[in-house]
Amino acid sequence: MHLSTMIDWRHALLGVVLTLACSLAGQSLAALPGFSLIGHLVLALLLGMVIQVCRPVTLAARESTGFIANKFLRAGIIFLGFKLNLIVLVSAGLQSLEAAVFVVAIMIPLNYAAARFLRVDHTLALLTACGCSICGAAAVMGVSGALKAKADQSVLAVAIVAILGTVFTLIEVFTQPILGFTDSQFGVMA
């Protein structure tokens, strides 16, 4: 019994080490020219997907997935939330808040409907709809408890939201010259 506990501990540690390695590598890659547009979160997720090719490593590290999703991912999202500047939010005015509520109220059902049309599981569809419509990974983790989502569903939803967020951010940046908005108008639209 002691030997199996030791093996389980090593497998769990492997998952933590792989997650940390992907995170640090993603952060380093994001410092390179061109990669900064993608962002270190998406780069780390892509590196994690590449590791999935090595099936024995993936299976060995699987035991720590729930722990990583529940502890590290939630802690990271909380730390990300600390970057929110409430003074800037208040200075934007009530109209910006009203516009945000209106957009979110429309986008959650639209994103959910699109996901269900593509035959995505109900819980995953709702997680990604909230993440894409509200504020990304923080929204996914915020609603995952209420939806009683599995750790795998939450992690997958965070990955989907991060990748889609990056893709649509790049699309928005490239459309600014076409739209002819001022920087302030573009900021509100984005």
- Cα dihedral: 91, 96, 100, 102 (round 10): 150
Domain count, the chain: 2
Question: What one-letter code names the amino acid at 61?
Answer: A
DSSP state at residue 182: -
Instruction: State the Cα–Cα distance between residues 86 and 91, nearest whole angstrom.
Output: 8
Q: Which of 82, 108, 142 is the last residue of a domain?
A: 82
Residue span of the structural domain in which 188 resides:
84-190
pLDDT number for residue 3: 44
Asked whether the whole model's pTM tops 0.85, one would answer no
Same domain, 53 and 107: no
Write the pLDDT tens digit of every residue in 8-61. Answer: 676 677 777 888 888 899 889 988 888 877 778 778 878 887 887 877 777 777
| Rounded mean pLDDT, 127-149 | 85
Run of H or E including 165: helix 151-179
Q: DSSP characters for 4-70?
A: HHHHHHHHHHHHHHHHHHHHHHHHHHHTSTTGGGT-HHHHHHHHHHHHTTSHHHHHHHGGGHHHIII
Whether residues 24 and 77 share a domain: the answer is yes
* Radius of gyration in angstroms for the set of CA atoms belonging to the chain, rounded to a whole number: 19
Judgement on whether residues 69 and 113 belong to the same structural domain of the protein: no
Residues 97 and 189 in one domain: yes
- CA nearest neighbour of 41 among 143, 150, 135, 137: 137
Long-range contacts of 99-103 (CB under 8 A, 24+ apart): 99/188, 103/133
